Structure formats: structure tokens, C-alpha cells
């Protein structure tokens, strides 16, 4: 079969080639494109003869699938699959596998880093230093002893809980299904929002979680509380968050995800919101995570060959 990497997944091509030695030994043709190109026509050109396609988070819809009639499998180097037309893949019998778990440590560590950055006003104090000032330093707050509310207790949420416990925090959590996790007290959504100093989101995007945090939920939070989103952009109503920050309804926020993938348009509602750190969707992007997910996508192919 012809296996096509639509992109190098943040790694050197030589490393991918080495990892694919087993697939080549089985007689598969492996083609690795050394650059990422989201142009539909170019993606079709690269993939139109492939039985298996590997990519991360480039949207693949019906128009792409229509142009790739030989396609049997999508091995997605990403956790979420909301950028894939899953209904169309099911209709065509195309196997779709994600790289579950590859970014657990990366995203959990970034969530904690964003909490520290907002609390210690790292970005603002960097600006003050670069402006050669001293009198304008901005004192911050400490995470230790605070109550952290985790919405979504999958692998990432549970890892955040362990890191928060290490800081000496009280950890509250809400999850769609009941769980028992050491060092974590499970509560309802309203209680979590009211009692937490820091609310951090780690839920998947679906019809139930879209706009999970709106003006209604933000009004429940403490005026001193902050919101962290490393989950999915549409989980939070962006205009409601911008309004809450401008009015002082909550003290601050940090987000790594948006309703649309960066680059964002100049009129994005969050750009003029105060006390907000905006990152360009880097939660998954560490060297260690990239290597781990390469192994997962290749393993997914090897384990799935009996399905087609």
C-alpha cells in the first residue's frame, strides 16, 4: 500500500524514515512530504493515490475524500478528530485512528505554565523590563494553596490534578461520568465555578460541550478567579470571555485555542481584552510529544491493517 505523510509532523524527515523502516520492510511505499501545505489542491495532489494518509490537524472534508478514491485509512497525528469529516469516512468505510495520549504531559504542563504566567504577570513584567523601567513592576499571586477546578478528568485533566497537588493546591473536578481520583474532590459544575480560584478546561468538543462556558458560567466565578483553556476554542464563548475580562467580572484568563485555528483575524474579540494571555495553539507542540505521536500513528497503521 501507498502511505503518505501529508506533512512532517514537526520532525526531521530522516527521523520519520527511520521510524517507518518496519512498514517499508512489509512492502509498503512510504512518501513523506517535508513541508505542511493546507492548500486543498496540493493536498489532493499528494494524497490522491494513497491508501493511507497521515496528517495532524489540517481539516479533511468531503471534497478531499472525493478526490482520494483509494483511501482506506486516516492515521491522525492529533488527539481530537473534529477537523475530520467522520460521517463521510464512516460512509466510505475509511478507518480513522487518532494519536490519543501523545500530548498529555505537554498540554498539562502548559496549563500549569499559563496559570503561573497569569498569576505572576510574566508577559507584563517582560514588557516593563524591555522598556527599561523598574517602578512599574507588577506584583503577582502564588498558586500554592489556591483551589484549582478542573473541568474534564481524562488523562490530561488527571495529570493537571497531580501537578496542582504538587503545588499544594486544593483540587476540585467536574466530569461527565463519575470517577475516583486521589487528591481530587468531584463536585457539580456550579460548585466548581463558584469555589475555584483557577478554572482549567480539559474537555473534548462536541454538541454538549460547545459554549460550555458562557456569560452565565463566567458570572458564577469569583471576581479574583482566572480561566485557562487548553481544550478546544468553541468550548468557551469568546465574546462572553472578552466582555467578562473588560468588565472585571473575572481577573484574568489564558487561552491556547480558538474558534478558528491561528492566524486569527484582526477583529478577533479577544485581542482587545485585558489581563489575557493568548498562545497560538502550542499545547501539543513539544519535541517529546512529536516523537511519541509518530510512534503512535505508525503503531495505529500496523494494528489496523487487518481492517481493510
Which parts of the chain sit beneath pLDDT 50? none
Are residues 95 and 155 located together in one domain of the fold? no
Are residues 253 and 118 located together in one domain of the fold? yes
Helices 287-304, 104-120: inter-axial angle, 10-degree rounding = 150
Are residues 153 and 236 located together in one domain of the fold? yes
Instruction: Give the per-residue pLDDT at 210.
Output: 97
* HEC assignment per residue over 117-185: HHHHCHHHHHHHHHCCCCCCCCCCCCCCCCEEEEECCCHHHHHHHHHHHHCCCEEEEECCCCCCCCCCE
pTM: 0.90
Q: How far is residue 156 CA from its own chain's centroid?
A: 10
Backbone angles phi, psi at 85, to 5 degrees: -75, 85
Which CATH number is 34's domain given? Answer: 3.40.50.720
Instruction: Give the per-residue pLDDT at 264.
Output: 95
Which domain covers residue 7, as residue numbers? 2-102+287-307
Active site residues: 232, 261, 281
Instruction: Give the per-residue pLDDT at 187.
Output: 98
* Residues 21, 48 contacting (CB under 8 angstroms): no
Are residues 130 and 263 located together in one domain of the fold? yes
Are residues 120 and 97 located together in one domain of the fold? no
- Nearest CA to 153 among 128, 178, 126? 178
Q: How many domains does the chain have?
A: 2
Are residues 268 and 157 located together in one domain of the fold? yes
3-class DSSP assignment, residue 93:
coil
Are residues 96 and 203 located together in one domain of the fold? no
Are residues 64 and 179 located together in one domain of the fold? no
Are residues 169 and 39 located together in one domain of the fold? no
Amino acid at each position: 500500500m501507498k502511505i503518505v505523510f501529508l506533512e512532517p509532523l514537526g520532525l526531521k524527515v530522516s527521523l520519520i524514515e527511520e521510524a517507518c523502516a518496519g512498514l517499508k520492510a512489509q512492502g509498503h511505499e512510504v512518501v513523506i512530504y517535508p513541508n505542511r501545505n493546507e492548500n486543498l489542491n496540493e493536498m489532493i495532489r499528494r494524497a490522491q493515490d494513497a491508501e493511507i494518509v497521515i496528517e495532524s490537524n489540517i481539516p479533511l472534508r468531503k471534497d478531499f475524500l472525493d478526490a482520494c478514491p483509494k483511501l482506506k485509512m486516516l492515521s491522525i497525528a492529533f488527539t481530537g478528530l473534529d477537523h475530520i469529516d467522520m460521517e463521510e469516512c464512516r460512509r466510505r468505510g475509511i478507518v480513522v485512528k487518532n494519536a490519543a495520549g501523545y500530548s498529555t504531559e505537554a498540554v498539562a504542563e502548559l496549563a500549569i505554565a499559563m496559570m503561573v504566567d497569569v498569576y505572576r504577570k510574566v508577559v507584563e513584567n517582560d514588557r516593563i523590563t524591555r522598556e527599561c523601567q523598574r517602578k512599574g513592576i507588577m506584583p503577582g499571586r502564588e498558586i500554592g494553596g489556591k483551589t484549582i477546578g478542573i473541568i474534564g478528568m481524562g488523562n490530561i485533566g488527571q495529570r493537571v490534578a497531580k501537578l496542582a497537588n504538587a503545588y499544594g493546591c486544593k483540587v476540585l473536578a467536574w466530569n461527565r461520568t463519575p470517577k475516583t481520583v486521589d487528591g481530587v474532590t468531584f463536585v457539580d459544575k456550579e460548585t466548581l465555578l463558584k469555589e475555584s480560584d483557577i478554572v482549567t478546561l480539559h474537555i473534548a468538543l462536541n454538541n454538549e460541550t460547545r459554549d460550555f462556558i458562557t456569560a452565565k458560567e463566567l458570572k458564577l466565578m469569583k471576581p479574583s478567579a482566572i480561566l485557562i483553556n487548553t481544550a478546544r476554542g468553541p468550548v468557551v464563548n469568546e465574546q462572553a470571555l472578552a466582555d467578562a475580562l473588560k468588565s472585571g467580572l473575572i481577573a484574568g484568563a489564558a487561552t491556547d485555542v480558538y474558534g478558528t485555528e491561528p492566524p486569527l483575524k484582526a477583529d478577533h474579540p479577544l485581542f482587545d481584552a485585558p489581563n489575557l494571555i493568548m498562545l497560538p495553539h502550542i499545547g501539543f507542540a513539544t519535541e517529546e510529544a512529536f516523537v511519541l505521536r509518530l510512534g503512535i500513528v505508525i503503531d495505529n497503521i500496523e494494528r489496523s491493517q487487518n481492517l481493510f
